[in-house]
Amino acid sequence: MSNLLDLLVAGLATGAIYAIVAVGFTLLWQTSQTINFAQGEFVMLPAFLMLAAMHAGAPFWLAIPIGILLSLLLLGLGFKMLLVDPVLRHGVLPLAIATMALAIGIKEAVKQFFSAEASPFPSVVPAGEIAIFGRMVSLQSIGVLALAILAVVGLTAFLNRTSIGHQMQAAAQNPTVARIIGVPVERMILLTFLINAFLVALASLLITPIYLAKFSSGEVLGQAAFIAAIVGGFNQVRGAIAGGLLIGVVDNLSAAYVSTQYRAAVPLILLIVIILFRPQGILGRAEERTV
């Protein structure tokens, strides 16, 4: 029987990472009707970019900002201008499908250009354990949790306390009205893409040391993000946060207490249950009927 506290902390740690990814996903949907099915691959890629930088000779502390910068360029700016903008004019559905194709493309590209095997990835937090309330808890979990919480708090503060954050929210909730009152909506949308690119890079940095860098890890990460976003409350940032934490904890606990074979099923069943009984998610508002 594993240490419950350690499980909980580890669960919150991975949950916080899921939360970061889910927030980015939700922001993209809110501001630009983009359902990014490649979000999981977006989290998988930056780690490989950093690994590539390190293979090219850069030390780890330099590879990190390089990876983040590349992420902003490719997964933020590039994604928006080369894929989202051209396809979105055909509708939300073609865009969703295009992101599925993108997911396949990124996955295969990583498999081809890096390797089909899992690679280790250095961690930004030290390894080891620390005693809390007399129980041993992994330092890595605490470190990851702390960094992730910092990111989430920082993001929430940015959205709610700064003028740009308010403008972004206005652009997300009602672009027409926002334009009228002078919010530069197009620029806010671009900003959202850049923020998502930053968030996925951060998530990549935090989660890859735990699960290793593998071209196929996007599938699981992506699914966790979607489930977190929906279970928490699809059009709410705080819903994405709550959902992420919940999924992380549920996932870790079921790994220990439910059969390993069906561990992955628990979040999936949670998703189906939520859609059945409370489709707006735990923290979501009941939507106007879409008819």
Partner 1 sequence: MTTVLEVTDIRKSFGGITAVDGVSFDVREGEILGLIGPNGCGKSTLFNCILGQLTPSGGEVKVDGKVVTGLRPSELNRLGVSRTFQLLQVFPKLSVRENLILAGQEHRGSMMSRLFGPSDAGLTEAADQMIGFFKLDHLAGLAAGGLSYGQQKLLDAAMAFMGGPRLVLLDEPAGGVNLTMLADLKERLAAINREKRATFVVIEHNMEFVMSLCSRVMVMVEGKVLAMGKPEEVRDNPAVIDAYLGH
Partner 2 sequence: MIGSGKHLRIGLGIVLIAGLIVVPVNFNRYGLFILSQWAVMTIAAMGLNLTLGYAGQVSLAQGAFVGIGAYAAAIMTTQGAPLMAALGVAVVLCFAVGWLLGYPALRVQHHYLAFVTLAFSTLAFLVFRNEDWLTKGIYGISNIPRPTIFGFATNRPLPFYYVCLGSLGIVSVMLWWLIRSPWGRAFIALRENPVRALSLGIDTRRYTLMAFAIGSALGGVAGTLYAPLTQYIDPVPFNLSLSLDLLMMVIVGGAGFFFGPFLGAMIAVLLPEWLRFTEGYYLMLYAAAVILLLIYSPTGILGILDRFLAERRAKAASALRAVAKSGLEAAP
Question: Interface with partner 1 by CB under 8 A: which residues?
Answer: 288-289, 291
Cα(213)–Cα(119) distance, integer angstroms: 5
Cα(118)–Cα(227) distance, integer angstroms: 25
Q: Which is nearer to partner 2, 100 or 139 (CB)?
A: 100
The item of partner 1, partner 2, none sharing an interface with residue 255, based on CB under 5 to 8 Å by kind, is none
92 binds partner 2 per the rule CB under 8 A = yes
Distance, first Cα to last Cα, the chain: 49
Among 91, 120, 128, 184, binds partner 2 (CB under 8 A): 91
Contact set for partner 2, span 271-290 (CB under 8 A): 271-272, 275-276, 279-280, 287, 290
Q: Which residue has the tokens 């709610």?
A: 160
Q: Which is nearer to partner 2, 97 or 149 (CB)?
A: 97
Among 10, 194, 227, 228, binds partner 2 (CB under 8 A): 227
> How would you classify the pairing of strands 129-132 and 135-138?
antiparallel
Residues with Cβ < 8 Å from 60, sequence gap 6 or more? Answer: 50, 54, 122
Residue 246 near residue 231, CB atoms below 8 Å: yes
Contact set for partner 2, span 130-169 (CB under 8 A): none
Rounded to a whole number of angstroms, the minimum distance from the CB of residue 291 to partner 1 is 6
Rounded to a whole number of angstroms, the minimum distance from the CB of residue 6 to partner 1 is 45
Q: Which is nearer to partner 1, 56 or 180 (CB)?
A: 180
Residue 108 token pair: 């295969």
- Tell me the three state secondary structure of residue 282: coil
The piece of 13-21, 108-116, 121-129, 161-169 that touches partner 2 (CB under 8 A) is 108-116
Cα(113)–Cα(52) distance, integer angstroms: 10
| Per-residue CA distances from 154 to 27, 62, 159 (Å) | 15, 23, 9
Residue 37 near residue 100, CB atoms below 8 Å: yes
The item of partner 1, partner 2, none sharing an interface with residue 288, based on CB under 5 to 8 Å by kind, is partner 1
Contact set for partner 2, span 18-77 (CB under 8 A): 35, 37
81 binds partner 2 per the rule CB under 8 A = no
Rounded to a whole number of angstroms, the minimum distance from the CB of residue 272 to partner 1 is 25
291 binds partner 2 per the rule CB under 8 A = yes
Burial of 134 (0-12, 13-18, 19+ CB in 10 A): exposed
Rounded to a whole number of angstroms, the minimum distance from the CB of residue 163 to partner 1 is 21
Among 4, 73, 101, 164, binds partner 2 (CB under 8 A): 101
Question: Minimal CA–CA distance to 65: which of 77, 80, 49?
Answer: 49
Question: Minimal CA–CA distance to 32: which of 232, 168, 214?
Answer: 168
Q: Which is nearer to partner 1, 131 or 291 (CB)?
A: 291
The piece of 2-10, 140-148, 183-191, 221-229 that touches partner 2 (CB under 8 A) is 221-229
Q: Which is nearer to partner 2, 68 or 102 (CB)?
A: 102
The beta-strand segments (E) located in the chain are 129-132, 135-138
